[in-house]
Amino acid sequence: MDIKMLCLGALSLGDATGYDIKKLFDEAFSHFFAAGYGSIYPALEKLTEEGKVAYDRHQQEKRPDKKVFSITAAGREVFIAELTQTPPREKLRSEFLVLMFFAHLLSPPRLAEILQERLDESQRELAMLEDLTKREMPAGMKFTVHYALAATHAAIVCIKEHQQDLLRDARVIVNQCARPKSPGEQHA
Amino acid sequence: MDIKMLCLGALSLGDATGYDIKKLFDEAFSHFFAAGYGSIYPALEKLTEEGKVAYDRHQQEKRPDKKVFSITAAGREVFIAELTQTPPREKLRSEFLVLMFFAHLLSPPRLAEILQERLDESQRELAMLEDLTKREMPAGMKFTVHYALAATHAAIVCIKEHQQDLLRDARVIVNQCARPKSPGEQHA
DNA sequence: TAATCCATGTAATAGGTTACATGATTCC
DNA sequence: GGAATCATGTAACCTATTACATGGATTA
């Protein structure tokens, strides 16, 4: 399951330009898959070569020409076959948790900043997801929003719960390091 | 923040072989960063060239030689500098949610299978994380476990809540498609 | 006796990110 | 007047995955 397949999926919902597909990645897909123009346009080119999509050139008066892509019958078949054999994996890559794992190496103000930034970001995501719940969509799509909402909410609660304790601990550790060592404590 | 930095982080906790570091990735890091031997060994090689780590060769009688890596003073500095300037991002890549997003293209049995597999996998993760909570560790590390626990738990609850509804909807849609179309409904 | 643990690595490839390059239009 | 929207793409680079290759020791 790569960006090519997600583009095919996007086109299974209706015809679109590369630009449109990017918007889909930024909105509907954003909480579970990321892509930029640098991957989307080459992906569409390869799919075209493979006969899985085709495009019509739409001339516009006051805009550059558009390439409006559609999925072909072959493309739809390949996409459904792919869905049928893709295992339902999930992989998180969290720089935030790396920072927290090594929190004992951070200064207390930096730690406070990290927690606050993540909290703010999570709250922005929450707002975006709550906005999405208002749109009409099939049950499966709706589920992805609920799922992301639940995870984001849980994250926010967890950060708020531990924030004070983590910062208190950080200050204590800094104080211990600042205090001159008594003899025999070097190899503690 | 790449695998090189995570290796440096691992060595900031104590000397280790490439093999040991892999175990750390599979246990303590597993819920927020992934890596295999194919990335760890080259990373350690580059870090050695850059003077951020060094190794001692330990001969063993009944085993192949070990390379025991240690972080250098320079390496520790670089690592802390990196921690200080890394933004606390978080990125999910979920094939599971892609499948759910396109659930309307799946057969009901396949959909049921996907939900069950994800549930089982989440429950395995939950068990692993609960096991980790029993170990003694600094507050920051403990937090990463609580955070992952909260997210995984929320995911499980969410799947259980929607499982029945999703499957019911899927059956309805299949029935609609199976039913012969009445005239004039082709372009609905 | 089969699987798992210990222990190291390479090579080919896939895959994606980032920055660059262009340019009119419309909204604030 | 400046930012955002619409619209397309390329090229260099970096990173990581996968499969391969080896092999003794221990545990079930």
Which residues touch A111 (CB under 8 Å, ≥6 apart)?
A: A103, A166, A167, A170
D6 C1' to A60 CA distance, Å: 11
Least confident range from A42-51, B87-96, B167-176: namely B167-176
Angle, CA A45 vertex, CA A22 and CA A55 arms, to 5°: 80
Q: In angstroms, rounded to a whole number, what is the distance separating the alpha carbons of residues A156 and A154?
A: 5
Contacts of B139 in chain A (CB under 8 A): 103-104, 165-166, 169
Mean pLDDT of B67-87: 96
- Interval A69-113: pLDDT, tens: 999 999 999 999 999 999 999 999 999 999 999 999 999 999 999
User: Sorting pLDDT into bands at 50, 70 and 90, what band is B158?
Assistant: very high
Structural contact between residues B125 and A159, judged by C-beta atoms closer than 8 angstroms? no
Minimum CA–CA partner of A115 in chain B: B88
Q: Out of A12, A84, A101, whose CB is closest to B144?
A: A101
Q: Out of A80, A88, A97, whose CB is closest to B114?
A: A88
Which residues touch B105 (CB under 8 Å, ≥6 apart)?
A: A12, A79, A80, A83
> Is A172 or B186 the better-scoring residue by pLDDT?
A172
| pLDDT at position B171 | 79
Q: Is B133 on the interface with A (CB under 8 A)?
A: no
Contact at CB, B102 and A86, closer than 8 angstroms:
no
For residue B139, what are its two tokens? 């507050």
Q: Is B146 on the interface with A (CB under 8 A)?
A: yes
Which residue's structure tokens are 């559609």?
A: A70
pLDDT value at A63 more than 90: no
- The distance from CA A150 to its chain's CA centroid, rounded to whole angstroms, is 15
| pLDDT at position B184 | 47
User: Sorting pLDDT into bands at 50, 70 and 90, what band is B45?
Assistant: very high
pLDDT value at A40 more than 70: yes
Give the residue from A55, A57, A23, A52 showing the smallest Cα distance to A40: A23
Mean pLDDT of B71-77: 96
Using DSSP, state whether A136 is helix, strand or coil: coil
Mean pLDDT of B68-74: 97
CB-strand contact B37/D, under 7 Å: yes
Minimum CA–CA partner of A168 in chain B: B139
**Chain D bases near protein CB atoms (7 A cut-off):** 6-12, 14-20, 23-26
Q: Is A172 on the interface with B (CB under 8 A)?
A: no
User: Sorting pLDDT into bands at 50, 70 and 90, what band is A58?
Assistant: confident
Contact at CB, A90 and B97, closer than 8 angstroms:
yes
Q: Is A144 on the interface with B (CB under 8 A)?
A: yes
Q: To which H or E segment does residue A122 belong?
A: helix A108-133
- Interval A150-186: pLDDT, tens: 999 999 999 999 999 999 987 776 666 666 555 544 4
Torsion, CA B13, CA B18, CA B22, CA B27, rounded to 10:
-30
CB-strand contact A36/D, under 7 Å: no
User: Sorting pLDDT into bands at 50, 70 and 90, what band is A187?
Assistant: very low
Mean pLDDT of B77-100: 96
Q: In angstroms, rounded to a whole number, what is the distance separating the alpha carbons of residues B154 and B151?
A: 5
Q: Is A119 on the interface with B (CB under 8 A)?
A: no
Q: Is A55 on the interface with B (CB under 8 A)?
A: no
Contact at CB, B147 and A139, closer than 8 angstroms:
no
Work out the percent of chain A whose per-residue pLDDT is above 90.
84
Quote the DSSP letter at residue B107: -
CB-strand contact B43/D, under 7 Å: yes
The overall average pLDDT reported for chain B is 91
pLDDT value at B188 more than 70: no
By C-alpha to C1' distance, C16 is nearest to A39
**Amino acid at position B85, single letter:** Q
Structural contact between residues B22 and B35, judged by C-beta atoms closer than 8 angstroms? yes
Contact at CB, B83 and A92, closer than 8 angstroms:
no
Least confident range from A128-137, B106-115, B169-178: namely B169-178
The overall average pLDDT reported for chain A is 91
Nearest nt (C1') from B42 Cα: C9
Q: Out of B101, B106, B138, whose CB is closest to A144?
A: B101
Contacts of A28 in chain B (CB under 8 A): 101
Cβ neighbours around A187 below 10 Å, total: 4
Length of chain A (residues)? 188
Q: To which H or E segment does residue B93 belong?
A: strand B90-94
Contact at CB, B83 and A99, closer than 8 angstroms:
yes
pLDDT value at B114 more than 80: yes
Q: Is B143 on the interface with A (CB under 8 A)?
A: yes
Mean pLDDT of B92-117: 97
User: Sorting pLDDT into bands at 50, 70 and 90, what band is B186?
Assistant: very low
